[in-house]
Amino acid sequence: MAIITKPVGGVLKGLPATFILNKSQVLALSIVSNDEYFSDSNNWKKIILKYESSEGKQQELVRFDATLASPTGFFFVSEKARNLFEIKSLKIVDFDGDVLVIPRSALTVVDFDVDFAAIPSSEIAFDGRTSASYISFPETGGVTRLLPAQNEPSFSRFWYSQGITGDFTFTATIKAGNIGENPSQALFGLNDAIPPANGYALKQGGWGINFYDAGIVAPWDVSSTSTSWSRGSTYEFEMKRVSGVVSFKINTTTFSYTLNTSATVYIVGCLQVGSWEVTNASLVIPEAPSVQSVTWDIANKTGVGSVTTGANGLITRSDAGGGYNLNILSNEIITGDGYVEFIVPADFVSVVFGLAEANSPTGSFNNLLIGCYRTANPGALEGVITTGNLTVNYGNFLNIGTVQANDVIKIERVGTTYSIKINNGSPYSVTINNTNPVKVSVSPYYSNTGVNNVTISV
């Protein structure tokens, strides 16, 4: 059995993966078993595993809570990482901070490196067109313009009739045709419906890219970054949506204009005139993140006071309370984009809830990156943003809304954008320059207050 159990299917780029540490295999290593102190796993507090890309593109530290019978850790593969990840070292840390370093050479178990597996893509078989007279589908993922001299903007359209509801990345290779007289030669992009019987395939107003007759490529009908194209040249086209934001790229040029839509969309195109070709059209739809109930790291809470836990992420302050002097973090970690969500209980008053990298040393909530609390029942939901151990700023997110029992509050991070939503409504967002792994943080003020039905995307 391996020291580390890898996720089934390998590690997917851009998504966190959960690893399980086999403590018995670590104990069996000679460097550990021969050490009088560290040969007793009851002395272990955590194990830190250092991974490194074989191309040196990314280093990753995976931390395991060694006090657990089956400790787990999260590994996140960035967009820049490639190929194989190798374990560089393993560290065992005790409760006093003493460390035993296990080098790679001491790892005798064969199966401990991580296979990099890109998110699988699938070629698109375009299955819609208005007329076989002007375009054809010679292969999966390909479209060819017929009758190059014929100018027919309404009858040279094609589309992929499977609607896309969430994030995606679409790529294709485009070979430009001849420049004719029509102001638009080729359009590629999106529509929020199967194209109508007449008119353009794309929805107007920046829903796609236009290869204009003048030799300029830009988002259709909007002012934005542009680049040039020339007859007979080949271009790599990328269109992607992340959390409702659609962006476009031609070769290395990313256009400054972005389209905001969370609607179901359809990939469409229009080859109006010229001998245009589209090949290698493929679609990547990432797997949805795993959503699970939060469990709380009670053993490492800070400050004073006591808490009780229950099913589905329930936590309640059970002592007299009366101060922000008790802080608890989740065992679960958000390593990249993700969110935490909870249902407001009737007693959710003066409970500060949010995301943090670490506990506050004093048990307060001054280590929060972003959070919220309610001052009355029912009452206004106010936001809190802090800057580490510096001054806590109250009221930065005034007017988030009014909440009452059974409302759902969601705190989300996408890149460096952090947001708070009530019942999945319009978010209050702020930019925080922090993409480090974070946990859920809760600081109850009074007794018999807490949070309920807490879930996290990991």
- What domains can you pick out in the chain, each with its CATH number? 4-117 (2.60.40), 122-284 (2.60.120.920), 291-457 (2.60.120.920)
Question: Tell me, what DSSP letter sits at residue 7?
Answer: P
Q: What is the mean pLDDT of residues 58-82?
A: 76
Question: Tell me, what DSSP letter sits at residue 183?
Answer: S
CA pair distance 365, 441, nearest whole angstrom: 8
For residue 440, what are its two tokens?
């859920």
Percent of the chain at pLDDT > 70 equals 84
pLDDT of residue 326: 93
Q: What is the mean pLDDT of residues 120-124?
A: 67
For residue 43, what are its two tokens?
């002395």
- Position 133 confidence tier, pLDDT thresholds 50, 70, 90: low
Do 450 and 335 meet the contact criterion of CB atoms below 8 Å apart?
no
CA pair distance 312, 334, nearest whole angstrom: 18
CA proximity to 86, closest of 105, 68, 64, 70: 105
Instruction: Give the CA count within 13 Å in the CB-facing half-sphere of 111.
Output: 11
Of 90-99, 132-141, 233-242, 359-368, minimum mean pLDDT range: 132-141
Cβ-proximal residues to 252 (8 Å cutoff; 6+ apart), any chain: none
CA proximity to 165, closest of 141, 190, 187: 190
CA pair distance 312, 410, nearest whole angstrom: 16
CA pair distance 282, 349, nearest whole angstrom: 50
**Partners of 217 in the β-ladder:** 211, 227
**Which residue type, as a one-letter code, is found at position 39?**
S
Of 47-51, 130-134, 354-358, minimum mean pLDDT range: 130-134
Kind and range of the H or E run holding 25: helix 23-28
Q: Hey, which bits of 95-213 come out as E strands? A: 99-103, 116-117, 122-123, 128-129, 135-136, 143-145, 157-164, 168-175, 184-191, 208-212
Q: What is the pLDDT of residues 371-405, one digit of tens each?
A: 888 776 667 787 777 654 333 444 444 567 788 88
pLDDT of residue 81: 59
- 37-42's contacts with Cβ under 8 Å and 24+ in sequence apart are 37/94, 38/92, 38/94, 38/100, 41/66
- Give residue 236's Cα distance to chain centre: 24
pTM: 0.51
CA pair distance 383, 341, nearest whole angstrom: 15
| Integer Rg of the chain from CA | 27
Q: What is the mean pLDDT of residues 277-297?
A: 83
pLDDT of residue 246: 92
- Give residue 60's Cα distance to chain centre: 17
CA proximity to 388, closest of 411, 362, 366, 371: 366
